[in-house]
Structure 1
């Protein structure tokens, strides 16, 4: 992840089964991980124009929504949305801290709850910054096992909880989770769409046995699955698209771009035209209108819908609408009834539901006759207020809050909602009694409280308020560079949470070459734990990874970050001009150049 506008997806690869003699006439949609610099107007022209086959793009400002509205990105997002293309905001799940080594949140935590809270806050901030032009959320770094041990669904439960939070707080949102590889069927309800393949053309056309498409995908709703294939020659677009249709992938993206970042450009010209055309179906059949749905189970905050499945093999799925708003898709489960569960509803409220059948070719039927349903009342007694709320570990951007569990009435506690200045900032399960809340503003007064919420949505009184004012330190300070005979050491104190802790290094003393930043032309870049060399002489964000024997990151303790790089890396240079920078999650900060000599 070397650019604030370009973050690679998970690189795990699931290979595809080659196309069979008769390719299904599957009507696919193109979906694009658009991690493209705003300066690449040619690529963006492909994605901000109306295309019937282009369904959605994923945008990424700074490994998420950044710290405030970015005017340049807002123009791109608004333009794409206005053209009829859905825009999904990128967030990182960090594998919920389960990877080895464990990924850390911007606040430095590795536990699953902290990752869940950060993901919830990132999702909310996309909608806060860009409003109705955001159509959904893309969750990167998805796991591909149900849980840490056989029989456990702990990982799936986390993704489902995040998915419910997004749908409940942002009705009509489209959600995508990216394991980048085949997953077991336990993942079916973790998001609306699953990236079940991400990899190269070579992997896709020459599958190994262990990378075969899962049978449940072949049998399921094609609109549940997205395949992303890079390094695809233009001459092979038709063949790869046919293979993806045989693999029952309803969403597809092909690009000629290659590693290290195959998503920093978009196809243009004849390649783009061919890709859009190849995903379309030839059939124009419109399915018949499905039966009126029934409400088989109604409770205070949700309900289950059911309807008679079509016996036609050409009906692959159904679209579900609540009060005219599209809220989800589900496969055709013939001969069993097709079912859909709606959550995050308000008690004692009337809702109207319709469904539309989806043909293999992607055409939709007319919507069914509506079914009106009124949710159950709040039947339980409210839980007791959470006790002993206290704050600790206060920084410029975060605070740790802890409380004691609420007393239980006849209606068990389901969630705790955490509020800052009256706005809900996170929701955690009943077993969780502490959170590390981030994305606070420096030098700002906050009042925090917590409320318990029961299964029937009865809400407790608020916990005793915790009031604080966040400190307002210099974003980056005490920066230093020691250009030694064998090792060059870089160190700085980062006092704010940045997604990217950057060190730009000019080794040739020429500001006209390399990447322009802070008055220098950077030939090398340290970013978090990676080391990169500028790949071209042009003033563009174009970096190639450099492998070091160790490092460059030596330590990061309390924001004091130390990096080491062999001095031989900089050739015959006798002086370095160095710019320390932080970006993402907090406002960009760039220090004046430091000159170090040896």
Structure 2
């Protein structure tokens, strides 16, 4: 495994001892698992696997036929390449770069052919009518959905998590495996269909998948059966406390992916083992129609934060 470690060496010069720094000249490993999937008549979705943190990757370069088309930070492992020509085959490669400017060899080439263009297509596909999911160990999940329909034909299925697209599958696929998940975590996924004009369907039914803990991690620490209900000027949250062996009196609430407040209860106010429901009411001042995605996690007896609850999406009311 490659590691990026600053090396400080003592150099013996004619005038005595001088300090020098060994330059990093080792490139990162080439990106693995590169795939390309046509999303419409003019776009292709390119994805690849996240790097080993020890590789020190800082950004990626996406090439089409040897031409640089996109640059992305290290935390992005997918991109839509747009402005393409309908019914045309394209090949893509990806290179990784580190902080020292070393560039990897290209990963294996991935090919995709864009769909045929459809004039004045403004009709979106139907939403997938049914979605199911199951965990495949602590870090993966398999999703399945029913096929959607469209007047000009479905060209792709997009998987969303917390309102963010995380995966694109082909038009003939009705299942996919998602990797890179966190152990002991509740996820909520939805699937949308897309056609050759980039019209997207509404979300299909949401499906919840909870990954099991890694070996030796102990019981599930996520608040269970989390719900969020909007009412005029307020949002009511309810959940079942995780079984940590002690009362869990402190929770961190995230809205739209960011921590916004810590909810604290008096000593003993929250049950220790999920024996009863917990409720909290938030006063809100945001305008009606504002969309929120919420999740929360508990402060564990050892002082660390536990796993997140399932996510809930709501629209604030007047």
TM bucket, shorter chain: 0.3 to 0.5
Return the index of the structure with the highest Cα Rg: 1
Query: Which protein is richer in helix relative to its size?
Result: 1
Query: Which protein is richer in strand relative to its size?
Result: 2
Give the TM-score normalised by the residue count of structure 1. 0.23
